[in-house]
Amino acid sequence: MLDEDSLRAGLPIAWIGENFYFHQSIDSTNAEGNRLAKEGAPHGTLIVANEQRAGRGRAGRRWITAPDSAIAMSIVVRPDQILANDWQKVNAIAALAVVKVLEDYGLSAEIKWPNDVLLDGKKVAGILLEGVWRADQAEFAVLGIGVNVKKRSLPSLNLLNFPATYIMETSTQPIARDELLFAILRALVAWIDRLNTDELTVNLNKHLAFVNQTVVIDNDPQLGGKLLGVDDEGRLRIIIQGEELVLGYEHSSLRLKS
């Protein structure tokens, strides 16, 4: 059961959740995070919803969370605590945190660069980090994490741009959403503590999908080649026509070449 009392009992986790907001139903946890941050909500403010009616993913895609079916949460990030230059790496760290937690449940998941988590080759979780700037000064970011847990969490076919799945389709054991949420937050904190370490880069590469396979970039079909991994900055390393290139986070996503 995912409810306010059960979540408050397990918070805060390190710097996350001292300020906590729970909604039975909301338009978007990221939108709420933006609203709260503009009003001065501190670093680590956590927003969780049981239902999300108008969530969003990268490139403006919708991310709907049916009631009692998934995890939908967002965290306010302030640049005086995590430097704005590292925000995009936090995006990848959140995906790694989900992968590591699923691994603890006996499930083998992968990171589909830069911000999706795959289970059996299908999307089971999505990450969205939105930064807000005033002129050239970073004000705050909001990190959104959505995880499909039960069958009802699957979006309708017209919203899919990649095959999707849910945890309970693969798991052989029941998984409580509150325990899963706490585990993800603990893993997120632990890996942010390893920001800019070789250990982080090694683990991102260890769990990266499509390594040594031919991929194409979704928003530039002409940009494709053999995927080598990610560098210390979390950027994609890819060989195109015999030349190694490094691609930044501005490239929205990748997939296997058909």
Q: What is the pLDDT, as a whole number, of residue 62?
A: 64
pLDDT for 118 beyond 90: yes
Residue with tokens 């300020």: 19
Contact 73, 108 (CB under 8 A): no
Residue 36 exposure: Cα atoms within 13 Å on the Cβ side: 24
Place of tokens 């959505």: 146
Percent of the chain whose pLDDT exceeds 90: 69
Residue with tokens 């009992």: 9
Q: Residue 217: its pLDDT value, please? A: 79
The DSSP secondary-structure symbol of 128 reads E
Q: What is the pLDDT of residues 198-253, one digit of tens each?
A: 999 999 999 999 999 998 876 666 678 899 999 988 888 999 888 998 887 766 57
Predicted local distance difference test score (pLDDT) of residue 58: 54
Q: Give dist(CA 136, CA 122) in Å, integer.
A: 38
The angle that helices 87-104 and 198-206 make with each other, rounded to 10 degrees, is: 60
Q: Cα–Cα distance between 171 and 185 in angstroms, integer? A: 20
What single-letter amino acid sits at 219? N
Does the structure show a pLDDT above 60 at 157?
no
Side chain identity at residue 185, one-letter code = L
241-253 burial, b for 16+ CB within 10 Å, e for fewer? eeeeeebebebeb
Type of residue found at 199? E
Angle at which helix 87-104 crosses helix 177-192, to 10 degrees, equals 130
Residues facing residue 147 across a β-bridge: 71, 125
Please write the tens of the pLDDT for every residue from 91-111.
999 999 999 999 999 999 999
Q: Is the dihedral of CA 166, 170, 176, 178 positive or negative?
A: negative
Determine the pLDDT at residue 134. Answer: 87
> How far apart, in whole angstroms, are the C-alpha atoms of residue 67 and residue 234?
34
d(CA 197, CA 204): 11
- Distance from C-alpha of 103 to C-alpha of 34, rounded to nearest angstrom: 31
State pTM to two decimals.
Answer: 0.92
pLDDT of 223: 75
Mean of the per-residue pLDDT values for the chain?
90
Answer whether 117's CB lies under 8 Å from 98's CB: yes
> Who has greater pLDDT, 12 or 158?
12
Give the integer Cα–Cα distance in Å for 210 and 214: 8
Span 42-82, pLDDT tens digits: 999 999 999 998 766 554 566 678 889 999 999 999 999 99
The pairing of strands 243-247 and 236-240 is antiparallel
